Structure 1
């Protein structure tokens, strides 16, 4: 579930980046990008990522600073971009929009008051993935020769299916919904400074004596990005109820409750719209000159904010090339 309820149930262990060497990770691009975008805006001067036309492209700094960690550990990221948003998520999208509008009002007040710390915090909370941010991110990834996959709907669902089918070794996202989408192994904390953690679906199911379908039912009872949960039912109560009554329909009947569109939400997790036939090249050979020109020359990002990242990308890919010949 998009909220953190499932963390109380998920089997999660820390994993060292060194142990991920040679792995391929389907990264939920919007999720990964948003975290770098908000962090960059919060801790980087505005002029470093604002074009002469007033366009903000802090995402370009985030990509250049975030990508090296994968490459330095011989981990290949495959960035999976969202397609259309299901109508079941409209309520969640609207809630987030209202929250952002409230933050924007608070941001305006903080600027009038000259509260720099509050401005930095609220500026990060009002960020959204605009068309320009998505397009420029894709443009930079293309020049860096980093593989990209387009999902027909939820990028997280596509990443989970790629992991489930063995096309990649892991899905990469911060959202716990990856478990409900059936990702066997999911890496969280890919934008953190330290090592990530790994959520294990099979271990989670074994810990609670559940099937995947029953875990989805637990998620629906608690609430997901696609539905409101049942009042008074948390993760542990949901597991107990599903274990006792078999599935969500048995819980509804026994408790006299219901969840709107429960059948559709259940099917969305178990059979999401995904592209089953994805191909990509894991041999990354970046055109660093073109990438630098794109970021600094074409979009006017401050060179001092990205040069170290470009150097790390170059060092990592050169070393990878040498390793292939030894």
Structure 2
């Protein structure tokens, strides 16, 4: 969800080698939802253990984190804290949409419409508190650090870019509105995706620099936030009717304040879900904290307990993953004390 600047910005395609020996603040909630959405069976059913507990998030977290570490990328996961009041209405709407999608998925699955069912299934993903806690438990066992944000994880991750980490790893452009100097997209995605024409489309890792975005669009960071408000963000998802990226860009270039923009003919009759000035303030000055974390050594017995004993993962596959993790740690460059 959130603002989409993809129509206006051409991201830089990069490879994992461009991220070697760099720490990335990964938006944990965004990533776990991604795993829940894409790691499914052909009819859309998520991976489950023998007790019926969903395990797609654990599978993605374990194997794709190892993949990053094999490529000498050091992930630091950032979890959401307390939900801001600005997001409460949207959260309720999303919950209702997930429930509706789940009902449609079950119906289509019963009718044997597998392809359509899968599409609806990906929209029904639900991340529970238990899933979040067992994800943290797995990360602890792997020796991979995580940070708990006071509020929005994207905001916290954005604040860490610079001295602490190289970039935010997220699919959502909203981290740019929170001021992230750099973001990386498609970090934990599949390498290919089905296209609307029935074929497959290659998915590349993308790097976006905030400075380049502002220069290319000829706007300030504040004006970028105004664009988000007009187009729709997590705090006002509907935006302003009829205003897309190009129109939003034109409007913000013509005004010096949000107050003036709200008096525009195209905007003034809009009923915003939240006060636009409060949204602007939240993006420009979100609740964030100083962070402290360190990488540790993996606890193989605890990893096996979480995955094999508790959730029935294949011991052979988990052991194979552990060997890859061990090899990745052994091959790390000397002097990277934070990764010891």
Residues 47 and 169 of structure 1: CA distance in aligned 2, closer, same or farther (over 3 Å): closer
Name the structure 2 match of 1:241: 251
> What is the number of equivalent residue pairs in this alignment?
320
The alignment partner of 1:26 has SS state of strand
Residues 132-169 of structure 1: CA deviation (Å, up to 9, x unaligned)? 21111111100001001001111111111111x52211
Query: How many angstroms does 1:261 deviate by?
Result: 0.4
Shift of 1:319: 1.9
Question: What displacement does 1:121 show?
Answer: 4.0
Shift, 1:224, TM fit: 0.9
Pick closer, same or farther for the CA change 1:75–1:10 going to 2, 3 Å.
Answer: same
Which residue among 276, 281, 285 is the counterpart of 2:294? 281
Paired with 1:45 and 1:294, the residues of 2 have a C-alpha distance of 24
* 2:208 aligned residue: 199
**Alpha carbons of 1:37 and 1:323: their partners in 2 closer, same or farther (altered >3 Å)?**
farther
Equivalences for 1:139-218 in 2 at 5 Å? Answer: 139-163=137-161, 165-194=162-191, 195-218=204-227
Task: Give the conservation status (yes or no) of the 8 Å contact 2:78–2:156.
Answer: yes
Please give the alpha-carbon distance, in whole angstroms, between the structure 1 residues aligned to 2:225 and 2:45.
42
- CA distance in 1: counterparts of 2:231 and 2:117, whole angstroms: 34
Instruction: Indicate the residue corresponding to 1:16 in structure 2.
Output: 15
* Farther off after superposition, 109-118 or 66-75: 109-118
Q: The residue matched to 2:131 in structure 1 has which SS?
A: helix
Contact 2:143 2:299 in 1 (8 A): yes
Match of 1:34 in 2: 33
The SS at the match of 1:27 is: strand
Distance 1:27 1:96 in 2: 22
Counterpart position of 1:250: 260
> Helix, strand or coil: the match of 1:24?
strand
Asked if the contact 1:50/1:58 (under 8 Å) is kept, the reply is no
Which of the residues 62, 85, 90 maps onto 2:60?
Answer: 62
Q: SS in structure 2 opposite 1:294?
A: helix
Q: Name whichever of 199-208 and 56-65 sits farther off.
A: 56-65
Query: Structure 1: which 5+ residue stretches go unaligned?
Result: none
Deviation of residue 55 (structure 1)? 1.9
Query: After superposition, what is the alpha-carbon deviation per residue over 1:37-71, rounded to whole angstroms, capped at 9, x for unaligned?
Result: 2222235997963243x222222211122112210
RMSD: 2.5
Q: Which stretch shifts more, 108-117 or 287-296?
A: 108-117
Cα separation, partners in 2 of 1:252 and 1:26, compared to 1, 3 Å: same
Contact 1:152 1:274 in 2 (8 A): yes
Provide the C-alpha distance between the structure 2 equivalents of 1:112 and 1:315, rounded to a whole number of angstroms. Answer: 45
User: Counterparts of 1:18 and 1:309 in 2: how far apart (Å)?
Assistant: 21
Q: Quick check: 1:49–1:57 contact (8 Å CA) kept in 2? A: yes
Report the CA distance shift for 1:116/1:302 in structure 2 as closer, same or farther (over 3 A): farther
- CA deviations over 1:101-157 (Å, ceiling 9, x no partner): 111211221343244444444333322111221111111100001001001111111
Q: SS in structure 2 opposite 1:41? A: coil
| Alpha-carbon distance in structure 2 between the residues aligned to 1:281 and 1:154 | 21
Q: 1:90 aligns with which of 88, 91, 99?
A: 88
Structure 1 residues 84, 74: closer, same or farther in 2, change over 3 A? same
Q: Relative to structure 1, is the Cα distance of residues 23 and 324 closer, same or farther in structure 2, using a 3 angstrom cutoff?
A: closer
- Separation of aligned partners in 1, 2:330 and 2:113: 45
The answer to whether the 8 Å contact 2:57/2:135 transfers is: yes
Query: Would the aligned equivalents of 1:50 and 1:56 in 2 still touch at CA under 8 Å?
Result: yes
Q: Which has the higher helix share?
A: 1
Partner secondary structure for residue 110 of structure 1: helix
TM-score when normalising by structure 1: 0.89
Q: What is residue 319 of structure 1 aligned with on the other side?
A: 331
